[in-house]
């Protein structure tokens, strides 16, 4: 069991470090609204990871992998979501990226997804959490990946659903640890990244990346 656990943990670390739509969104939220917003987005993303893992344990992800219609429907919906996020980022960059720098620490500001930065978290946390969750759900490959990746590490003779749920929790914790580092690093550089010109350029880059990921997701074939 320990060998399977260590093998799974090593693979999960490599997967967490691979950039994707969640990485782009988490970094953008951390840059625009601070570490609290970034961590809330991470928690939403990890909730999605747990849901996909539990779905794999009960067989729902297998249905997604087997059904072309279900996969294509979720794939197209996810592509629309990613493109929409990217267009909003580009539009925000075109408007000039808002007023006030990252270090102003005073008035609230609104980012491209309508997330307000408030000193007490609250509503901002809920919106960022939802953004992370939706971004994760927008990628149907996460569900197919869960049903094809997690079972490989289940030791022979162990109850598959129970082990899959346990691996899902470990997967989410590893993901959380990695993205917490990302959020901290972006927060440390936020004074530089928060300058209006830099923020505008980062909005443009993240917008193009998200639109590109959405288009690629829409155009891909299994």
How high is the mean pLDDT of the chain? 75
The pLDDT assigned to 45 comes to 93
* Cβ–Cβ under 8 Å, residues 144 and 71: yes
Q: What is the pTM of this model?
A: 0.71
Cα 118 from Cα 205, distance rounded (Å): 25
C-alpha distances (whole Å) from 25 to each of 38, 107, 164 are 9, 23, 27
The pLDDT assigned to 119 comes to 42
Cα 151 from Cα 198, distance rounded (Å): 44
Residues 6+ apart with CB under 8 A from 197: none
Structure tokens at 162: 């129970």
The pLDDT assigned to 184 comes to 92
Write down the residue that tokens 């087997």 correspond to: 66
pLDDT lower than 50: segments of the chain = 98-123
The pLDDT assigned to 98 comes to 46
Buried b (16+ CB within 10 A) or exposed e, 129-138: bbbbbbbbbb
Write down the residue that tokens 């609230």 correspond to: 108
């Amino acid at each position: 069991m320990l060998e399977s656990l260590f093998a799974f943990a090593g693979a999960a670390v490599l997967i967490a470090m691979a950039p994707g739509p969640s990485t782009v969104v988490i970094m953008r939220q951390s840059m625009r609204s601070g570490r609290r917003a970034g961590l809330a987005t991470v928690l939403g993303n990890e909730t999605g990871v747990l849901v996909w893992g539990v779905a794999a344990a009960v067989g729902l992800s297998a249905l997604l992998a087997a059904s072309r219609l279900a996969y294509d429907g979720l794939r197209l919906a996810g592509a629309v979501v990613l493109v929409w996020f990217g267009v909003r980022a580009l539009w925000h960059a075109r408007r000039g990226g808002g007023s006030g720098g990252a270090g102003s620490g005073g008035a609230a500001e609104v980012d491209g997804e309508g997330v307000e930065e408030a000193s007490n978290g609250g509503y901002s946390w809920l919106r960022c959490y939802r953004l992370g969750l939706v971004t994760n759900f927008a990628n149907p490959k996460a569900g197919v990946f869960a049903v094809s990746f997690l079972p490989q590490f289940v030791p022979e003779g162990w109850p598959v659903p129970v082990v899959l749920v346990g691996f899902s929790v470990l997967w989410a914790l590893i993901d959380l640890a990695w993205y917490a580092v990302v959020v901290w690093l972006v927060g440390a550089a936020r004074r530089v990244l928060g300058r209006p010109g830099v923020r505008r350029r980062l909005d443009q880059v993240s917008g193009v990346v998200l639109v590109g990921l959405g288009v690629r997701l829409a155009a891909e074939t299994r």
